[in-house]
């Protein structure tokens, strides 16, 4: 009896690339595939107000804006690009909410980090941000989640304060409006173009 073939671990992208999820390479990463996927992945498992889902593409643009606002000395173009791409692996693995990641119990983070490194290398970035940048991106990500929770996901301010840090005083408050997928994709690609130029 012949051995059973290994299960397929690659996904074909619209660009024609085949991305191996277990062993991703920078050669198989295209920004158009990332933008297309992120614009179609809903934050909050789609449990948000509005005619359209609030996409990970929009979230990434917001996190980059917040990271810049939180950094009084400014950020390099490279750091801003890393902030924009902070959730880029979700174009293929989706946006699992934190409680679900905990419940799944697999080493989800390892898969995510391999894919993130391939994405970074593809665009001339270090495979991993510095510890200081990771901390900044996480803070911006949590502030984004606070605004998303209170404006789109039905959280009261009191509920949001129990789950997320309160945004610092003086930080601009974004007005969040979920965009149609094509507009979210274009927004992400436009920001990427400006930062990668």
pLDDT tens for each residue of 139-173 = 999 999 999 999 999 999 999 999 999 999 999 99
* C-alpha distances in Å from residue 42, one per residue of 31, 89, 165: 18, 14, 22
CA 176 to chain CA centroid, nearest Å: 16
Average pLDDT across the chain, whole number? 92
The average pLDDT across 15-19 equals 93
In angstroms, the CA 168 to CA 71 distance is: 12
Structure tokens given for 190: 């436009």
Domains by residue range for the chain, with CATH: 26-196 (1.10.3210.10)
Res 101: pLDDT: 66
Res 185: pLDDT: 98
Percentage of the chain modeled with pLDDT above 90: 79
Q: Which neighbouring-strand residues pair with 42?
A: 55
pLDDT tens for each residue of 93-142 = 887 766 676 676 666 778 889 999 999 999 999 999 999 999 999 999 99
* C-alpha distances in Å from residue 187, one per residue of 32, 54, 131, 159: 12, 13, 28, 30
Res 8: pLDDT: 75
Q: Answer yes or no: is pLDDT of 89 > 90.
A: yes
Res 106: pLDDT: 60
Res 154: pLDDT: 97
pTM of the model: 0.92
In angstroms, the CA 129 to CA 125 distance is: 9
């Amino acid at each position: 009896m012949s051995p059973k073939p290994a299960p397929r671990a690659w996904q074909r992208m619209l660009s024609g690339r085949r991305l191996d999820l277990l062993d991703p390479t920078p050669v198989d990463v295209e920004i158009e595939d990332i933008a297309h996927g992120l614009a179609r992945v809903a934050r909050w498992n789609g449990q948000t107000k509005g005619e359209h889902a609030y996409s990970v593409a929009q979230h990434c643009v917001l996190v980059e804006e917040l990271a810049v606002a939180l950094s009084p000395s400014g950020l390099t173009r490279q750091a801003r690009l890393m902030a924009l791409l902070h959730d880029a692996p979700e174009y293929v693995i989706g946006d699992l909410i934190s409680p679900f990641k905990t419940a799944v119990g697999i080493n989800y983070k390892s898969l995510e980090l391999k894919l993130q490194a391939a994405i970074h290398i593809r665009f001339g970035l270090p495979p991993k941000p510095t510890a200081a940048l990771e901390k900044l991106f996480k803070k911006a990500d949590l502030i984004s989640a606070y605004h998303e929770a209170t404006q789109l996901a039905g959280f009261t301010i009191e509920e949001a304060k129990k789950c997320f840090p309160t945004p610092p005083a003086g930080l601009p408050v974004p007005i969040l409006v979920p965009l149609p997928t094509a507009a979210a994709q274009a927004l992400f690609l436009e920001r990427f173009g400006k930062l990668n130029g």
